[in-house]
Homo-oligomer: A and B are copies of this chain.
């Protein structure tokens, strides 16, 4: 998968990619670093950032600018989706995208991607 994108699949990169792909919390660089430094005691934050950048450039990850000053990462090959951020528990949920998002855009503009973020209370926090 990485070879196809011109990336050398080092153990660290594989770990970063599979962690983001398998964890549904849209982790930050620091969360990834904390969780992986058990497996790689010598792991450095620099390597996590290097890997995240390389994987993002290779279109295997997507950067989510959901929280200012704390980038979060998403597994890109998944179908396009929006995000719901719970203001109480802070969890980030995937949501389906509403249809015809581009309908209301000015003609002449070229859309690369659409980011949609809902903020509010998740079902559990809403009940409490």
User: Does A104 belong to the interface (CB within 8 Å)?
Assistant: yes
Interface SS majority for chain A: mixed
The distance in angstroms between the C-alpha atoms of A121 and B110, with both chains bound, is: 5
Residue pair A110, B98 in contact (C-beta under 8 Å): no
User: Does A50 belong to the interface (CB within 8 Å)?
Assistant: no
User: Does A126 belong to the interface (CB within 8 Å)?
Assistant: yes
Residue pair B95, A106 in contact (C-beta under 8 Å): yes
User: Does A114 belong to the interface (CB within 8 Å)?
Assistant: yes
Residue pair A95, B87 in contact (C-beta under 8 Å): no
Chain A interface residue count, CB cutoff 8 Å, equals 42
The distance in angstroms between the C-alpha atoms of A76 and B63, with both chains bound, is: 26
The distance in angstroms between the C-alpha atoms of A115 and B66, with both chains bound, is: 10
A binding-site residues for B, Cβ under 8 Å: 63, 65-71, 82, 84, 87, 93, 95-98, 100-123, 126-127
Interchain residue pairs A-B with the least CB separation, the first 3: A108-B123, A112-B120, A110-B121
What are 12 of the A-B contact pairs (CB < 8 Å)? Answer: A65-B66, A87-B112, A93-B109, A95-B106, A98-B101, A98-B104, A102-B118, A105-B118, A107-B123, A111-B120, A113-B118, A114-B117
